[in-house]
Amino acid sequence: MAPNTLTPSERLPRTLGLWSALSLVVGITIGSGIFRSPAGVASHVMHPALMLALWAAGGLVTLCGALSIAELAAALPESGGFYAYLREGWGRRTAFLFGWSQLVLIRAAALGGVAIVFGEYFLRSAGVDPVTHVLGARALAAAAIVFAAATNIVGINVSAIIVNASSAAKFSALGVLITAALVLGGAHGGALEHLVAPPGAPVTAGGIGLAIVSILWAYDGFADLSFVAGEVRQPHKNLPAAIIGGTLAIIAIYVLANLAYVYVLPVDTIAKSPLVAADVMTTIFGPAGASVVSLLVAISTFGSLNAIMLSSPRIFFAMADDGLLFAPLARVHPRFRTPYLAIVLAAGLGSSLVLSQTFETLSNTFVLAIWPFYALSVAAIYRLRATRPDLARPYKVIGYPLVPAVFILAVVWFLVNALVNEPVTTGITFALILAGVPVYQVMFRSASATGIRQRSRSRR
């Protein structure tokens, strides 16, 4: 068979407009975190005012990242997103380590964590306690991953329709919850005193750092649109607009949602409430209110699952196309024009972990594994401005060089804190990432050179 000489952008057509791109940013990010992470944050920081301040601070750090990544997305609008930025900024070995981490840790953890929340809230919407029916929640989670993979194989537009439709559910759930809590919560135990209550336990620097891990899980996804940048129309304009606009909307929603939680429930109750949105609605409306909002949350998380399945397999596709992963993963379905084998791989990885790991384990592993690469990607802005000054940059970071530096320093701080406070799990995560170095040297280093030559020919 003759080698495929088409570039990835020619095999994966640009079909996503601004609204679909913006919906993907919101759809991926507002998935499970805002409905599940508040319990983890409150358990580490049992101080309501400080908890709200941390959600705002996490949003500020994320905005610095979004403002920075938008420059890279506009300058390098290729499938693979962060993989492409790391490859161009720091070389193919670093890019391979990112893809390796996606393969052994990140994608499975992301899909599994979101799918578990879907299963839990879906059972809660039917009046079934997910705590006593763990296996049922896990089975639903695995089935959701398989279904999301199938819809993404059929076509990117099918998945985009699901994501767009689920965005209505997630905004409805959050809108009803925030409005009901702030307007009606006072008659059902809600009180401003909850916001100024004394800490339920001493607050430590280590606890703050661990709380931020949960917060960053909720904010993660702000730049996942970059993974499908090669399929976005007018990428130089639409990518920065969607990434920055979506991030600003998410920050506002998250702060308001947590304000609603704290207004209705004391912080020590939130710390014991993994399904906090349902518990808030139970307090105000009883079981019927909990069922309605749980169903909306289930739809929301299912949409997020579809959005992740839409974006993340493009990393494997881009790596295989570069010769840094097994070649069949770069195959495009002849009818549906989607990277179907990469999607199948992502679904298999997610399904395997969702049946064996807890939400907390998956979310912590995900954050510790991927955010170092976010920092390296943002740091590539400094390197590329020095080494490739002529690279077209339709958008440049607002506040350069300070804004990228704030993001990088914040990520370094929470990683060091994680190493100090949870050295075993953090060390294992980093060891698995670094295990990719010998794999690259043995299996893909020579293929990398071939990939360079092929990309050079395709650009002529």
Q: Tell me which amino acid residue 448 is.
A: S
Instruction: Answer whether 265's CB lies under 8 Å from 280's CB.
Output: yes
What are the residues facing 232 on neighbouring strands?
16
Q: Decide which of 3.40.50.300, 3.30.420.480, 1.20.1740.10, 3.50.50.100 is the CATH code for 15-458.
A: 1.20.1740.10
Q: How many CB atoms lie within 10 A of CB 145?
A: 28
- Beta carbons within 8 Å of 459's beta carbon, 6+ residues apart: 7
What six digits make up the tokens of 40?
Answer: 């983890």
What are the average pLDDT values for consecutive 10-residue runs of the chain, which has 460 residues?
A: 46 74 81 86 91 94 94 86 91 90 84 90 90 88 91 76 74 87 82 76 85 90 81 85 91 93 91 90 90 87 82 79 82 85 87 81 88 95 94 92 96 90 90 92 68 44
CA distance 236 to 218: 27
Query: Cis link prior to 240 (omega < 30° from 0)?
Result: no
Query: Which two tokens mark 218?
Result: 């909720």
Q: Would you tell me how many other CB atoms lie within 10 Å of the CB of residue 445? A: 15
Could you tell me which residues are beta bridge partners of residue 228? 79
On the CB side of 314, CA atoms within 13 Å amount to 31
Map out the domains of the chain as residue ranges. 15-458
d(CA 173, CA 296): 6
Tokens of 63: 């905005």
Beta carbons within 10 angstroms of residue 193's beta carbon: 10
60: CB partners within 8 A, 6+ apart: 251
DSSP letters, 135-184, are: HHHHHHHHHHHHHHHHHHHH-HHHHHHHHHHHHHHHHHHHHHHHHHHHHH
Residue 5 CB burial class (10 angstroms; 0-12, 13-18, ≥19) = exposed
What confidence score (pLDDT) does residue 86 get? 94
Entry pTM: 0.82
Question: In the prediction, which pLDDT does 458 show?
Answer: 42
Crossing angle, helix 287-311 and helix 156-184, to 10 degrees? 150
Instruction: Please give the radius of gyration of the chain, using alpha carbons only, rounded to the nearest integer.
Output: 21
The angle at the Cα of 333, spanning 331 to 338, to the nearest 5 degrees, equals 85
Q: Estimate the share of the chain in helix, then strand, then coil, as percent rounded to the nearest 5.
A: 80, 0, 20
Quick one: pLDDT at residue 374? 94
